[in-house]
Amino acid sequence: MRDAAAGDPESRADFCRLYEPVIQAYLQARWKLPAGHDDLRDAIQDVFLQCFKPAGALQRVDASQAGGFRAFLYGIARNVARGAEATRRKTSRQGGSPELEVEPFDETSASRVFDHAFARVITREARRLLAERARPG
């Protein structure tokens, strides 16, 4: 995470590979959109932009805070989603036709989806690292 925050391209690619499924699962649960939807892809990219921009979120992460990195990433994803929803509501009020329909949703359910996806990613990565360390040589 520190290397990704410092701008290391390989670390950033690894960070995106690990956490994109978590962010996607949360946004899909929140917005009820299919994978690959433009609004979904845009929001996922915006989460990573918030993480990697100069003086961005990853440079401010404090793993000692309650909830650790999981809560931190969840907060970024939730804030990006809220921003996208506010933009869509404003566009709609101005007579535009937003693709993203903001419907009432259960934040608790969306949060549980995020937690489950996060746990799957962490478990998969832990297995990968253990297998890598167990290889002879």
The predicted structure's pLDDT at residue 136: 85
Q: Chain centroid to CA 135: how far?
A: 32
For the chain, what's the residue count?
137
Residue 101 confidence class, pLDDT cut points 50, 70, 90: low
Q: What is the mean pLDDT of residues 118-136?
A: 93
The predicted structure's pLDDT at residue 2: 85
> CB-based burial of residue 1 (10 Å sphere; 0-12 exposed, 13-18 middle, 19+ buried)?
middle
pTM for this prediction: 0.85
Residue 35 three-state SS:
coil
Closest CA to 70 of 35, 28, 26, 102: 26
Cβ–Cβ < 8 Å for 25, 114: yes
Q: Assess whether pLDDT exceeds 80 at residue 121.
A: yes
Closest CA to 124 of 35, 33, 17, 48: 17
Residue 82 confidence class, pLDDT cut points 50, 70, 90: very high
pLDDT in tens, 37-58: 999 999 999 999 999 999 889 9
Q: What is the mean pLDDT of residues 74-99?
A: 82
The tokens 């950033």 sit on which residue? 12
Residue type, 114: F
Residue type, 44: I
Beta strands in 27-76 (DSSP E): none
DSSP label at 105?
-
